[in-house]
Amino acid sequence: MKRYVILISGRGSNMESLLDAGLPGNCAAVISNRPEAAGLAAAASRGVATRAIDHRGFATREAFDADLAAEIERHAPDLVLLAGFMRILTDDFVRRFEGRLLNIHPSLLPLFPGVRTHAQALAAGVRLHGCSVHFVTPALDGGPIIAQAAVPVQADDDAETLGRRVLAEEHRIYPRVARWFLDGRLRLVGGRVCLEGETAVSGSLHVPQIA
């Protein structure tokens, strides 16, 4: 059975959606860079091993990433899932896990990389916003996109209301992509996404019906 590790920094709602999805694999561990992260308790309540590695205890980003990578490798994962992990990872770390490192980002990439994406979307006046699952590369939020889901921006939206609708789509598409990978249908080949199966390809973009 394939193994995966989830990295979190906060409440871990995307982590919970992954753990509750019945993925074809075993979650070997949930690791956080913040010992106070609420998601650690949520993972432990599901019988998943947890570990906190406080980034604030390291003198450099490289030192933290080296310790984090060693802890991940201890679990011998086939897949590493960033689920609200709020750290910019070093190039060495990313290359170490190249092809088996995924992230969920709350925007329709390449629009609005970085943070405060919902506020960015509202300021830009876009009519559609959403989320993207992508392979992680050294370019921040710039890796090959695997799947996206879009939601309409309503006239009375603020960052909170828009964010809630996007988050619901994150919970829907991230487990789907993780399943594709663990089933052996998703690979990164020569810097491009290779996704086997007609159903998977046709389902890689989802736009909810607008009433």
How far is 49 from 31, CA to CA, in rounded Å?
Answer: 9
Dihedral pair phi/psi, residue 73, rounded to 5°: -65, -25
Q: Which two tokens stand for residue 197?
A: 């199966």
Pairing of the two strands 101-105 and 26-32: unpaired
Specify whether 105 is catalytic: yes
Q: DSSP letters of 102-149?
A: EEEESSSTTSS-SS-HHHHHHHHT-SEEEEEEEE--SSTT-SPEEEEE
Decide if 178 contacts 76 (C-beta within 8 A): no
Check 55, 75, 105, 134 and give the catalytic one. Answer: 105
CB atoms within 10 A of CB 49: 13
Catalytically active residues are 105
